[in-house]
Chain A
Amino acid sequence: MSEFKPTNPVIRWIEHRLPIFSFIDHAVGSGYPTPRNLNYWWNYGSLAGIALVILIITGIVLAMQYTPHADYAFDSVERIMRDVNYGWLLRYIHMNGASFFFIVVYIHLFRGLYYGSYKEPRELLWMIGVTLLLLMMATAFTGYVLPWGQLSYWAARVITNMFTAFPFGETIVTWLWGGYTVGNPTLNRFYAFHYLLPFVIVGVVFMHIWALHRFGSSNPVGIEADGPQDKIPFHPYYTVKDLFGLGVYLTLFAALVFFAPNMLGETINYVEADPLVTPAHIVPEWYFLPYYAILRSVTFDIWFLSAKLIGVILMFGSTLILFLVPWLDRSPVRSARFRPWYKWFFWIWVFDVAVLTWVGANLPVPPYLYIGQVASVWYFFHFLVILPLLSIFEPTKPLPSSIGEPVLKGGGASAAGAASKPMEKA
């Protein structure tokens, strides 16, 4: 990795006083050494960053046309769709951009789980990532309320009512609402939070990247780089790879925005909020369906705990448990490539999440109720029982001696030739 030596005198003048160019170079330029063997599953971090930027830019211009008042919000969104120049495009990009953000982040998270990216010394990097997921959820939820459609309104009501399961719940909920039900004060504060939280996310993303650069990216074989021969500069190698991935991403995104913009939404949200009529079927956005399924799976009290409280605790717990994964999985081997049992349990868990998503979209009656209950139990069983047991009993496969070995068929392990010309084989 070459030192950053600018030749342009203006850049040198600025760099001497504010070393911002070397900072950028170390972050995403030639000054950031990256494992040579990253596959396409490592694209999703940068994709998530771009998805966030798309949401912030479209969000700011939408905010210039939106009216955060219970009497005008719905009409102002319809005006955006019909009268504002390209308003329909901006709103469809924002709406579906949120869905794509979640798709990308979920894949990013699954990547981390499959390749054991959360293991020492990257536990804090992982935990900052889970924090980002929680912030995204809060942002998505507050944003979904803003169009003030039937599902906006009733989603806000059902979700805020969860707090009544806790002690002093009524007081908390009245405070959250700023009234005695979801109303104009609620809409106003949700709008304020929806504008604020994305910038909080940007700040936490910087911490995420900061923690990432402390030890660098993990990689598909899950062993640390032996030396410079195992690494290549981020730019141009991974900037190009990320750009190719971005092209594919934007193609799929454009297909959704232009040809099926309402595919992931619910029609009933184009009906204005009515506090006196509950829609027959309340469903959250698709990315919340697994949590919703877990919430509704608890239909029985346990001791003094009400079904409602247990459901709420398990729903939040399903995300919070991710914080503990670095300590639940004690296996010394990171990558599932060398963990023959964990590989299977990982895919079973992915399937389990898919089942929960499907159950969450249906009414909580048999057989969905029972399937949801089994899937909810398995979700926690995977983390609390399977991961600790695998750490003890799983016979892992032998690890390669270096990152280069699997690629170079035995060569490249800290060989002097490879060290002097690290980039040619990558």
Chain B
Amino acid sequence: MEPGVLLQRVGAGDELAWEAFVRQHQGRIFGLAYHYLGHAEDARDLAQETFVQIYRNRHRLPDAPGLLPWMLRITRNLCMDLFRRRKARPPAWDIPVEELDHLHAHEEDPGQLLQDQARKALVHRALRELTDLNREMILLKDIQGLTLDDIATLLDIPLGTAKSRSNRARLELAEKLVALGACP
């Protein structure tokens, strides 16, 4: 089903469409919450809360291109609220890389799978060593695939700042990877 049609049916209160919508987006919402919070149970609760908020606003859903930034903004705001309530930002990215690997690994070749796991482990380790600011940029731009315009809106920063921060974050990540021996 096309995204626009699905959104229309969700807006009309179709329960089957809503279930399909949840199944379609839960991985991404949970993934973002998981990367921010670093704790599966908290991320699950927060992802549920995100979907409840989306359901409450189902009559005001944005159109298909704007849907992902809108949902990610809700998720991020809820994460930030949680951080504020806790008054301390817990260390994110302490996700065991095995959990990331076994979930969405589609390759069937065991050798390829092993190689991919090793690559992911290195990238994951490099990500953990980034500063919070750079890690968030990588999370939004390169992991979630938001555009720089969306990121600038989400973080309330000028577009040029978003671009330079993204470049800086990528460079830092590449340097960490080189230092870890990922590249010759």
Is B truly associated with A? no
